Amino acid sequence: MKVNTKNYAIALYDATKKSKAEELKLFIKNFVKILAAKNLIGLAPKIIADFNQHYDDTEGIIEVKITSALELSEAEKKEIKNQIKNLTKKEVELKTIIDKELIGGIKINFADNLIDGSLKTQIQNLKKQLLTIN
């Protein structure tokens, strides 16, 4: 039978949802024991990823990845956070990446959406537009 990691993640979430901190340790320990007994330790990273996804989905948290050329200030991060919170009506968890290739501006990734405000893309678009005039 094909193992569905999603089901394990959901089970783990349901079991740990209302538990207290001291219980949690035991739960996790038992969960790992089950995985070991079923020879599924190899799937752990996938289960963790699925758990992450499921946790965010049910708790209304959204992971937002911001790629920028330069380090963003705290004020800028807060502004972006608020904007996306308004847009999605979800709690925002920020993740920032520095990528010099963007030259300037930022790229915002959340769920399957991409808001591309980087200078690199703008320049590419300008190039495209200049090439289309005869």
Partner 1 sequence: MDKNYIIELLKQQIKDYKTQVQTEKVGTVVEVGDGIAKISGLAEVMASEMLDFGNNVFGVALNLDEDFVGAIILGNYSQIKEGDTVKSTGRILEVPVGPAVVGRVVNPLGQPIDGKGPIKSEKFYPIEKIAPRVITRQGVNTPLQTGIKSIDAMFPIGRGQRELIIGDRQTGKTALAIDTIINQKGQNVICIYVSIGQKEAKVARIINELEAHGAMEYTTIVCAGAADPAALLYIAPFAGCAMGEFFMDQGKDALVIYDDLSKQAVSYRQISLLLKRPPGREAYPGDVFYLHSRLLERAARLNPDFGGGSLTALPIIETQAGDIAAYIPTNVISITDGQIFLESDLFYQGIRPAINTGLSVSRVGSAAQIKAMKQVAGKMKLEMAQYRELAAFAQFGSDLDESTKKQINLGARLTEVLKQPQYEPVPVQHQVLIIYAVINGLLDDIAVEKVKEFESGLIKYAQTHGKAVLEKIIKEKQLTPEIEAQLKKLISDYKQTIM
- Which residues of the chain form contacts with partner 1 (CB under 8 A)? 109, 111-117, 122, 125-126, 129-130, 133
Task: Decide whether 28 or 115 has the Cβ nearer to partner 1.
Answer: 115
Nearer to partner 1, 22 or 134 (CB): 134
Nearest-5° angle of CA 10, CA 16, CA 17? Answer: 85
Residues 53-88: b if buried by 16+ CB within 10 A, e if exposed: ebebeeeeebebebbbbeebeeeebeebbeebeeee
- Shortest approach of partner 1 to residue 17 CB, angstroms? 24
Q: Which residues are registered as beta bridge partners of 67?
A: 97, 107
Give the nearer residue to partner 1 in terms of CB position, either 28 or 63: 63
Tell the smallest beta-carbon distance from residue 123 to partner 1 (Å). Answer: 10
